Amino acid sequence: MLRYCFISEWLDPSSGVLWKYQLFWYPETKEVEMVDIKNRRHFLKRTKYEELRSSLLYIGSMVTIFGRQLKLTEYGDDFTRNSIESQTERTLAMIKPDAYKHMGKIIDAICQSGFLISKLRVAKLSKEEAEAFYAVHRGKPFYERLTDFMSSGRICAMELVAPGAIRKWRELLGPTDSNQARAEAPSSIRAQFGTDKSYNACHGSDAPETAAEECAFFFGRDRYPGKCDVARNTTLCLVKPHVVADGGAGLVVDMIQDVFDITAAQLFTLDRNAAAEFYEVYKGVLNAGEFNAMVDHLTSGPVLALEVADRDGASSVEPFRQLSGPMDPELARVLRPDSLRARFGLNTIKNGVHCSDLEEDGVLEVNYFFTILPQS
């Protein structure tokens, strides 16, 4: 029987003790098993657990097993290493400033093509940061123009995971020159969203070494390049884990970009303390069961946090609440069928998106995600 093995860590939030487990996954029967490494004892005997998303089984990922968040730190055996490594090549994709307004459509194309987005961050590079990123092109005739362009507006950096991710993403991009792309690969991203040879919508790493370097450039340190300051009058949107896991994040972003500017974005995996702290204000309003269900869901997988801004600089809190629609998706489908919750919500817990409710909470909630939470 097929069996994968990972070494995983769990930080007990109450005692602060770090536990290490062997985590076994039996894909054919959808069973998990855990062995406590220090005490060489079964922690969880082989048990059915259908909620485990096998797409999240790679090193560095967080998986939730019966409400416990485990970080996968190492492969547990050679068989697992060999099979998973070939399935989980990584590449850096970047939406350049010219195509940032099409971020939703591009994220959607990425998801529809079968990539997993394991990291995502919006940034605004300085000229020096753009020069550092494109250091290999220093001295070439287009270098000045390229680095001016890359520091002229927001970009979105993503780490994509898939079998053969590097080649697969370059194929989806199409030829470097957008005009050539329109002639040779009309459904490619550069054909659809690029202008010419310089303004060509997106970037993709060209080899495993550059992919590793470029991913480390954006995601490998605490202080990352191009961090955007929290703007005034903005509001927070969280694209909830069920939407992200089902590949719907791009469509949500696209609906938002139709009306608003997205001034910051980042993919987070929250632990229970962070989720409970964020939902603190709901403690008095909801019963304990509902509150726990909200925390369970928010910690069940990656969430996409978005800073949403009005295009003319007015407050976006109330207008964005309108786009989100009523809390309960059933109600939303009757009252506001075009709202985000009507389209993406399943029930009151998995209701598609969170939005800031009160005028004064918008910037506070944006700050919680983009300043207070650990950013890596």
Residue 202 Cβ vs ligand ATP, minimum distance, rounded to whole Å: 7
The alpha carbon dihedral of 214, 83, 86, 63 has a sign of negative
Contact between 297 and 242 under an 8 Å Cβ cutoff? The reply is yes
Active site residue 203: yes
Residue 224 Cβ vs ligand ATP, minimum distance, rounded to whole Å: 20
| CB burial readout 31-65, b (16+ within 10 A) else e | bbbbbebeeeeebbeeeebeebeebbbbeebbbbb
Q: Is 90 annotated as a binding residue?
A: no
**82 CB-near residues (< 8 Å, 6+ apart):** none
Interaction partner, residue 138 (Mg ion, ligand ATP, none; CB < 5-8 Å by kind): none
Residue 89 Cβ vs Mg ion, minimum distance, rounded to whole Å: 17
Residue 143 Cβ vs ligand ATP, minimum distance, rounded to whole Å: 8
SS3 284: coil
Q: For ligand ATP, which is the closer residue by CB, 24 or 218?
A: 218
Contact between 321 and 357 under an 8 Å Cβ cutoff? The reply is yes
Q: Is 210 annotated as a binding residue?
A: no
Strand partners, 20: 9
Interaction partner, residue 200 (Mg ion, ligand ATP, none; CB < 5-8 Å by kind): ligand ATP
Residues binding ligand ATP (CB under 6 A) = 137, 142, 146, 176, 197-198, 200, 203-204, 206
* DSSP letter for each residue of 72-91: EEEESSHHHHHHHHHH-EEE
Q: Which residue is nearest to ligand ATP (CB)?
A: 176
Residues 196-215, interacting with Mg ion (CB under 5 A): 206
Active site residue 42: no
Q: Is 170 annotated as a binding residue?
A: yes
Q: Which of 102, 242, 297, 354 is catalytic?
A: 354
Binding residues for Mg ion (CB under 5 A): 206
Binding residues for ATP: 96, 142, 170, 176, 190, 200
Q: Active-site residues: which are they? A: 203, 354
